[in-house]
Structure 1
Amino acid sequence: MQPLRGRSEELGRLLEALREAEHGTASLAVVSGEPGLGKSALLAAAVEQAERQGFLVAQATAQQTDDISPLSSLAPALRAGREPLIDTEHFMELAALNTQPLWLAERLAAFVGRRLDGVKALVVLDDAQWSDPLTAFSLRVLIARLASHQLLWLIATRPAPGGVADQLVNAVQTQVPVHTIELGPLSAEAIQDIAKDRLNRPVESGLALQLAGVQGSPFLAEQLIAGLYLDNTTPGAPGLEHTAPGASSLGSAAAGTPASVTPVGPLLTAPASTGPLPPGLVEGVRRRSTGLSENARTLVRTAAVFGSEFRLEDVAALMSEPVAKLATALDEAIHAGLLTDAGSALRFQHELLRSATLADVPPSAQRALHGAIAAQLIAAGRGAAVAAPHVLAVAQPGDTAAVSTLRQAAQELIATMSTTAAEVIQHAFELTAVDDPLRAEVGVDVVAVLLAAYQYDRAAAFADDLLSGTALYHGPVTPDLRATVRLHLAPRQWVTGRLQRQDLFAPGAAPHLTERLTAYRTLLAPDEVAPTELLPRLTDPVARAIVHTAAAEAARAAGRYATARDYYVKARETPSDLGSLPDTVLEVGELYCRAEADELPAALQRSRELMTAGDWQTAAHLSVLHARLEYAAGNLDLAEKEAKAGLWWMKDLHDTALVPASHQVLALIALLRNQPTKARELAGTDSTINALLALADGDDKAVTRLRDVPHEFPERIDVLVRADAEDLLAAQVAVSPSVAALGAHELVAAGNDLKRLAAATEQLRTTGRPLLRALAADRYGRAELESGDRATGVATLEEALDTLTKLGATAPAGRIQAVLQAAGVRRRRWAAVPARAEAGWEALTPMERRVALLVAEGHTNRSAAEELVISASTVGTHLRSVFGKLEVNSRVQLTRLVLERFAPPPNA
């Protein structure tokens, strides 16, 4: 490998990042610079150093045609080498998820994470500006998920504000350190060193003068030496005559781009600008081309129009020449240092060489070639998506054939490359006239594709403009058009809580569309027309499915879980069509109801399956459901993981509707783990969580506030048991007589009847809800102890203690442990309760907390003693301990601290 010249500082920064990775600090390094400044050379030097230090290296180069192939930019890095990051079996599993980017990225992170456990690694992506959308998205997930590994992510890109690199940095900069390295022109000394390395001799004065004209570009220096660049400062380029025609293959590292780098080609999106081409490069390439045969010159120029890479057979077909006849011409172009054979495709040695070649093709000829290429690709059955870049290069406003091809291309791309499909359909829309009725049809396509690409805000704004008579569209807004657009938006609007009643009217629309809009109004406001009353009047299956969902939602809100479950099942039986609600969201509702209707194990198993194969656009709903079911099953670690995953998806998808639901699960887990401060941070204004916190802080009066627990609260039955809400449990049994509800009601209704308590506790053993079972055993065990049956009471309480300890629920376990210890039970180890904090609120004992709360309410020592049924002297003792642990000196300071902590006051 040729030495790297003029980049010691930049290489040093990358080596420092490698050292940090070796010590466990993962990071992202972004190298940016214009074409030809040596980005690839710097990456190659970093790779060489990493391999010397024992790093596992995975690298790939994005190609400009990657836009239509999901994960094609990153895949070579995943699969390269004898020990790839992803084996064949796992890679095929990922391929099946290319329409579910969130799940694919999660699975990819899991596979790569396991592969890199204990391994220091460098992952490199060159020309990242060409990354396909799935690669760009997956990198965001991978970098965040693997932040604890010995890993350096290194990407190179052209400057592109708001491009792939900028989006990546913005997404991960809070998870890992980011190193940005901007490459500028090399110094004159470094350029001369490159020339000396290539020529293996001192640089002559004439050449030195020419090198001064390359403007610090190592690529142009290479081409000057190879004779493909003419510096105008010294006409004739003396001293280079001895250079072999293929000499450009020398020093590819210093030139900044190895042979595999993709040249510029037609894009579905605007390419990053390379800036004006150096005139000397165009003239140099033209001079080199004059030495080629006519066939070779035609081959090179045609190839330049084809794009970043091409197949020889495609160029041969366009030139009406047999492939065999072009073999000699291809060999000439390769020997001249213009093209390179990558096996499956042919490419230019560097994108600047392609640009220089293209500059010598008249615009009219380029347009004609693009048109011929598009027609040829479509005729050959290569698909509209492959032809789309060439169609865009020649299409003119009003070209209905071009619009038709682009619409077809968008449909071909939507399943696997929805972001690219959105750009294609936008181009198709712009090619139609503002008063052409076809523009309305394409406009509907735009809304649908934007929604498929999860670009809801763009879709909604576009829809509003389309239907409002703005400059976007001047044609007739028919009732069917209005209804169709609104029905495209309605499912996502309902899921995210953005559906508005005024958008659900389109007088004069087709009957099936009118029925669907009416059904959505029922879903939005079931009090307007009862779903069960509307169903008999509907004939459209999609409308009926929406109304079945409305009936399910109403039944679920009322706690009638079995009824709601059956309505969800009916709603899911209808095939998907315009306006259909996302099936995964409906199944989430169904599984929630199944779990509440004595089907928790089956619901939990199905939710686990959905977590790896569900609809990525409803990932947050799935994560929250899964977190709740894992919590119900007592799997606190898994519940916490899924609740946090739900928050991550919500942040990434800019949909925060379910944040409170995730916080509820996390706060409940924190309370079980004796982490009240963490629970308080998560609680916000949640009245039930705050009531539970007040109880944990010793405020017994807060138990009455638990009666207000809403139906949707996680494990609501547990809370009602704690509140002794016999009437509310009876109401729950009346509408949904599940084993859990029946057992909980009997547990509370039993009072001190030991036989009934025992029967209720035994009944709750069958629910698969260990936290509820432990709650029942705690209540029954204490009752047995108080009745004098020490053997039964201790055994039952120890069972509850063991269950809670195994689950990691240290707070309730600690309370049971205290009861057992007070009863004189001795164990070799009491492992349930961690050591109490020495200072702060968590350091207070339950009695000290109660004293602090009463004092903050204005009680004197005597009145607090009467409230607590203890002596005033004992209150004083507790109060002095509170002052010391909270580091306060007066009742006023204590009151202020309590009010700041609780706000509103705990007994409000």
Structure 2
Amino acid sequence: MGPLRGRSEELGRLLEALRAAEGGQASLAVVTGEPGLGKSALLAAAAEQAERQGFLVASATAQQTDDISPLSSLAPALRAGKQPLIDTGHFMELAALNASPLWLAERLAELVGRRLDGTKALIVLDDAQWSDPLTAFSLRVLIARLSSHQLLWLVAARPAPGGVTDQLVNAVGAQVPVETIELRPLSADAIQDLAKDRLNAPVDPNLAVQLAGVQGSPFLAEQLIAGLYLDGAKAEPTSARVTGPLLAASVTTGALPSGLVEGVRRRQSGLSEQARMLVRTAAVFGSEFRLEDVAALMSDPVAKLAAALDEAIRAGLLIDAGSALRFQHELLRSAVLADVPPSAQRALHGAIADQLLATGRGAAVAAPHVLAVAQQGDTAAVATLRQAAQELLTTMSTTAAEVIQQAFDLTAPDDPLRAEVGADVITILLAAFQYDRAVAFADDLLGGTPLYQGPITPDLRASVRLQLAPRQWAVGRLSREDLFAPGAAAHLTERLTAYRTLVTPGEVSPTEMLPTATDPVARAILSVAAAEVAQSEGRYATARDHYADARRAPADVGSLPDTLLEVGELYCRAETDELPAALKRIRELMTAGDWQSAAQLGVLHARLEYASGNLDIAETVAQTCMRWMQDFHDIRLLPSVHQLLALVALLRNQSTQAREIAGTDPTIRALLAIVDGDDQAVVRLRDVPHGFPERIEMLARADAADLISAQVEASPCLAALGALELVSAGTDLKRLAAACEQLRRADRPLLLALAEERYGRTELESGDRSVGVATLEHALDALTALGATAPAGRIQATLQAAGVRRRRWAAVPARAEAGWEALTPMERRVALLVAEGHTNRTAAEQLVVSASTVGTHLRSVFGKLGVNSRVQLTRLVLERFAPPPNA
């Protein structure tokens, strides 16, 4: 590769990013510029330098036709080379996930991350403006997930505000550094140097004048030097001469330079008639095409076109990419196409569409050519586009949404077919996760706007509203006012009525309506409504059965998403002694379920891992879940994620982190108050709501026997029964032992540890040291294995106070030497009381200790917090607590 002229600064910035990647700082570099300014040359130079420095380089170039094939833009980078990023077996495995982009991207990140572990790499995507939607989405996930690797992502695209690269930068800018490079036209000196390199000789004055006309475009300079403008580098131009201002305008506005068109025309003049026809027909096909398709359209055998193809390649117009042919540059294709009359283009597009459909290539492949010739009212074109949208829906839902919208636009506003196609638009927009757009479209379709001026039948209104209802319910946006369609068919009316019950179950009991419901979809909706009521009341077994009934109903318009119903069923199964089975199933769904329900799946997965004591996994899943919420701009479940993360932090003795995460959550604040030494705060745990993670454990800590008893009555299970025995036992050693034995079968290790702690302490207090120590040590070992250092530390302190000696107490980290975490529970209570305005004496009265003891604790607090006055202590406490607990 020759020297890269005029881009030393830009190349230097990319090399600096490569050095940072080598040092472990992953980043994204985005190169933008108009066509012909040398983006590809800059990327090639960076790749060459990376290879010299020992980087693994994986490159791909997006094509205009990529938007009908999932992951087609990125796939060449994944599969190229002797040691590809993804091997054949795993790549075939990914194909099964095309309809679940989130799962595919997560699996892809796992595979690529494993391949690049310990390897410095450069991954390049050129012409990203043509990336297929799955590639564009996967890049956002991959860059964020692989931020800790020795990796530079290099992406080039034409400038487009709000386009692929802008979306990419906005999505990953918080995870990795982003280097943006905007290519400007080359300087006159750089263009002259480029010409010297290509000619391997000085530039004569004649050519120098022509080079001034390219206005800094290296591509146009290359074509000029290659003879596309002139018959020879030293010939005097005539009518083909291009003035600088005209050419400059064409480069910046996207219009073709007349000199380029003339040059391509002259180059074609040296071709045979067959070669010229091949090139022009190929230009209508697109930037990439197959020789057999062009041959069929020209009614020539493929073998007969071999010589013509060779001519076009030697003329510098086409390149052979192996599996396909393509133009050397999109500007060259556009210049060829400029010489094909519009009427001929239309005829060729029509013939291409017919050929593709007749040979079974599919409506999706034919769609661009159908659109090129279709006019409003063309029902055949509408039918083809509807079929294309359905073909694309399972793997390319974003593209399918655009295709069906184009089909809708081809129908007349008063055409009855328009309503039918409009219903397709809503279905596909929902499948593409474009809820707001689907709702807006439906409102326009049903609202008598210019969008549709045909009749709005009751059945149409009901069907459209039922299409929207499942997803609107899933995202919490279903309105009762939208669930009426007087005069609609009986089954549609019954479904709308069932949805109204689901939205406002307090008006009519869904359980009472179920026996009279005749439509299976309506029955399923009512079952879900009954399940939600039962679940909110803690009747988990009843709710479980209702969810299961709902999932058995056949799918039809208005059916609720099965994955969300299974989420509800699994939650209830976990609360009715089926935690291991529910956890196993949710793990399966995390890679094979409805990706649009990823947030709900993730929250349940984190909860079940937490309930099973798998704190590290629960934390990882919860953090991943937060990323998904950001990806889909849906943070409704964020409080649930914060609860999980705060609970994990508390178990790890990270109260500051828990406080920052939980915000104003009343249950977490009660737990924090207990950690800070407020023993009375345990009463506030009685108010923990249904649905809070491991509510039974909270109630057991609060000794809320009445509330646990109510839970047992509503839905008896081993955890609730064991917890009830625990809090009812008092100091009865036999009952405490029985409670522990019962909880060992409940698969709730944190609750079991709480029971063993109580039982062990009681045995110690009663004088049975052997049983007490053994029980406490069992609880300590279990909590240590789980990473629950806070309760483990509490048990360890009890054992040490009882004189138990171990060679190592390594599992529980030492208390911090400074800061809030360094304070003992009593010191925290003293600090809080002083911050509330208490004197040593009044604080002593609150704590039932002497004033001198308070003074001793207060001096220790001053030292650990680095303050020397009550005022400073008060300020620090007020900054930490907003508002202060116990206020």
Q: TM-score if structure 2 supplies the norm length? A: 0.96
Q: Is it true that 1:848 corresponds to 2:797 in the alignment? A: no
Shift of 1:782: 0.7
The residue aligned with 1:84 is 84
The residue aligned with 1:99 is 99
Match of 2:497 among 498, 504, 518: 518
The residue aligned with 2:754 is 775
**Equivalent AA in structure 2 for residue 176 of structure 1:** V
Report the 3-state secondary structure (helix = DSSP H, G, I; strand = E; otherwise coil) of the residue aligned with 2:266. Answer: helix
Report the 3-state secondary structure (helix = DSSP H, G, I; strand = E; otherwise coil) of the residue aligned with 1:124. Answer: strand
Distance 1:293 1:108, change over 3 A: same
The residue aligned with 1:58 is 58
Distance 1:905 1:2, change over 3 A: closer
Q: In 2, distance between residues paired with 1:180 and 1:857? A: 52
Shift of 1:902: 3.2
**Equivalent AA in structure 2 for residue 62 of structure 1:** A
Q: 1:1-40 alignment to 2 at 5 Å?
A: 1-40=1-40
Match of 1:671 among 641, 647, 650: 650
8 Å CA contact 1:58, 1:80 repeated in 2? yes
Q: In 2, distance between residues paired with 1:768 and 1:555? A: 23
Structure 1 range deviating more: 748-757 or 531-540: 531-540
8 Å CA contact 1:220, 1:229 repeated in 2? no
Task: Render the CA deviation track for 1:824-873: whole Å, top value 9, x for unaligned.
Answer: 22222222432323333222111111222333444443333233222121
Q: In 2, distance between residues paired with 1:39 and 1:92? A: 32
Shift of 1:232: 13
8 Å CA contact 2:284, 2:348 repeated in 1? yes
Q: Is it true that 1:112 corresponds to 2:112 in the alignment? A: yes
Report the 3-state secondary structure (helix = DSSP H, G, I; strand = E; otherwise coil) of the residue aligned with 1:134. Answer: helix
The residue aligned with 2:68 is 68
Report the 3-state secondary structure (helix = DSSP H, G, I; strand = E; otherwise coil) of the residue aligned with 2:354. Answer: helix
Q: 1:592-741 alignment to 2 at 5 Å?
A: 592-741=571-720
8 Å CA contact 2:225, 2:233 repeated in 1? no
Report the 3-state secondary structure (helix = DSSP H, G, I; strand = E; otherwise coil) of the residue aligned with 1:94. Answer: helix
Q: 1:463-502 alignment to 2 at 5 Å?
A: 463-502=442-481
8 Å CA contact 1:232, 1:280 repeated in 2? no
8 Å CA contact 2:106, 2:141 repeated in 1? yes
8 Å CA contact 1:78, 1:86 repeated in 2? yes
Shift of 1:476: 1.8
Structure 1 range deviating more: 19-28 or 507-516: 507-516
Report the 3-state secondary structure (helix = DSSP H, G, I; strand = E; otherwise coil) of the residue aligned with 1:154. Answer: strand
Task: Render the CA deviation track for 1:272-317: whole Å, top value 9, x for unaligned.
Answer: 9971111111001111212222222222111111111122222222
**Equivalent AA in structure 2 for residue 807 of structure 1:** L
Q: In 1, distance between residues paired with 2:794 and 2:301? A: 87
Q: In 1, distance between residues paired with 2:503 and 2:773? A: 53
Q: In 1, distance between residues paired with 2:264 and 2:181? A: 31
Distance 1:808 1:575, change over 3 A: same
**Equivalent AA in structure 2 for residue 378 of structure 1:** L
Q: Is it true that 1:903 corresponds to 2:882 in the alignment? A: yes
Structure 1 range deviating more: 120-129 or 216-225: 216-225
Match of 2:528 among 544, 549, 557: 549
Q: In 1, distance between residues paired with 2:627 and 2:60? A: 28
**Equivalent AA in structure 1 for residue 21 of structure 2:** A
The residue aligned with 2:412 is 433
Q: 1:441-456 alignment to 2 at 5 Å?
A: 441-456=420-435
Match of 1:532 among 491, 496, 511: 511
Q: In 2, distance between residues paired with 1:903 and 1:597? A: 38
The residue aligned with 1:886 is 865
Shift of 1:587: 0.8
Q: In 2, distance between residues paired with 1:883 and 1:504? A: 63
Q: Is it true that 1:746 corresponds to 2:728 in the alignment? A: no
Q: In 2, distance between residues paired with 1:474 and 1:62? A: 41
Q: How many residues align?
A: 876
Q: In 2, distance between residues paired with 1:395 and 1:207? A: 46
Q: In 2, distance between residues paired with 1:700 and 1:45? A: 67
8 Å CA contact 1:231, 1:280 repeated in 2? no
Task: Render the CA deviation track for 1:74-97: whole Å, top value 9, x for unaligned.
Answer: 011101111110111111111100
Match of 2:294 among 299, 303, 315: 315
**Equivalent AA in structure 2 for residue 139 of structure 1:** L
Q: 1:405-424 alignment to 2 at 5 Å?
A: 405-424=384-403
Q: In 2, distance between residues paired with 1:473 and 1:443? A: 9
**Equivalent AA in structure 1 for residue 332 of structure 2:** L
Structure 1 range deviating more: 822-831 or 77-86: 822-831
Q: In 2, distance between residues paired with 1:183 and 1:584? A: 47
The residue aligned with 1:763 is 742
The residue aligned with 2:810 is 831
Q: In 1, distance between residues paired with 2:465 and 2:593? A: 25
Distance 1:476 1:230, change over 3 A: farther
Report the 3-state secondary structure (helix = DSSP H, G, I; strand = E; otherwise coil) of the residue aligned with 2:206. Answer: helix
Structure 1 range deviating more: 649-658 or 434-443: 434-443
Task: Render the CA deviation track for 1:877-903: whole Å, top value 9, x for unaligned.
Answer: 112222333344544554454344333
Shift of 1:427: 1.0
Structure 1 range deviating more: 300-309 or 272-281: 272-281
**Equivalent AA in structure 2 for residue 818 of structure 1:** A
Distance 1:273 1:214, change over 3 A: closer
8 Å CA contact 2:207, 2:233 repeated in 1? no
Distance 1:234 1:210, change over 3 A: farther
Q: Is it true that 1:373 corresponds to 2:352 in the alignment? A: yes
Match of 1:387 among 366, 371, 388: 366
**Equivalent AA in structure 2 for residue 609 of structure 1:** E
Give the gaps of 5 or more residues in structure 2: 241-250
Q: In 2, distance between residues paired with 1:859 and 1:32? A: 64
8 Å CA contact 2:413, 2:451 repeated in 1? yes
Distance 1:349 1:202, change over 3 A: same
Task: Render the CA deviation track for 1:321-367: whole Å, top value 9, x for unaligned.
Answer: 33333223222222222122222222112111110000111112111
Q: In 2, distance between residues paired with 1:173 and 1:722? A: 43
Q: In 2, distance between residues paired with 1:43 and 1:288? A: 28
Q: In 1, distance between residues paired with 2:841 and 2:726? A: 37
Task: Render the CA deviation track for 1:120-167: whole Å, top value 9, x for unaligned.
Answer: 000011111111000000000000000000000011111111111111
**Equivalent AA in structure 2 for residue 489 of structure 1:** L
The residue aligned with 1:245 is none
Structure 1 range deviating more: 81-90 or 320-329: 320-329
The residue aligned with 1:504 is 483
Q: In 2, distance between residues paired with 1:541 and 1:577? A: 9
Q: In 2, distance between residues paired with 1:521 and 1:619? A: 26
The residue aligned with 2:246 is none
Task: Report percent identity of matched pairs.
Answer: 81
**Equivalent AA in structure 2 for residue 72 of structure 1:** S
Shift of 1:468: 1.3
Shift of 1:875: 1.4
The residue aligned with 1:129 is 129
Structure 1 range deviating more: 293-302 or 22-31: 293-302
The residue aligned with 2:164 is 164
Give the gaps of 5 or more residues in structure 1: 241-271
Report the 3-state secondary structure (helix = DSSP H, G, I; strand = E; otherwise coil) of the residue aligned with 1:507. Answer: coil
Q: In 1, distance between residues paired with 2:843 and 2:19? A: 62
Q: In 1, distance between residues paired with 2:62 and 2:882? A: 55
Q: In 1, distance between residues paired with 2:469 and 2:154? A: 42
Task: Render the CA deviation track for 1:206-264: whole Å, top value 9, x for unaligned.
Answer: 222222222222211221122212499997449x9xxxxxxxxxxxxxxxxxxxxxxxx
**Equivalent AA in structure 2 for residue 73 of structure 1:** S
Shift of 1:780: 0.5
Q: In 2, distance between residues paired with 1:906 and 1:185? A: 63
Shift of 1:565: 1.1
* Aligned-pair Cα RMSD in Å: 1.8
The residue aligned with 2:767 is 788
Report the 3-state secondary structure (helix = DSSP H, G, I; strand = E; otherwise coil) of the residue aligned with 1:156. Answer: strand
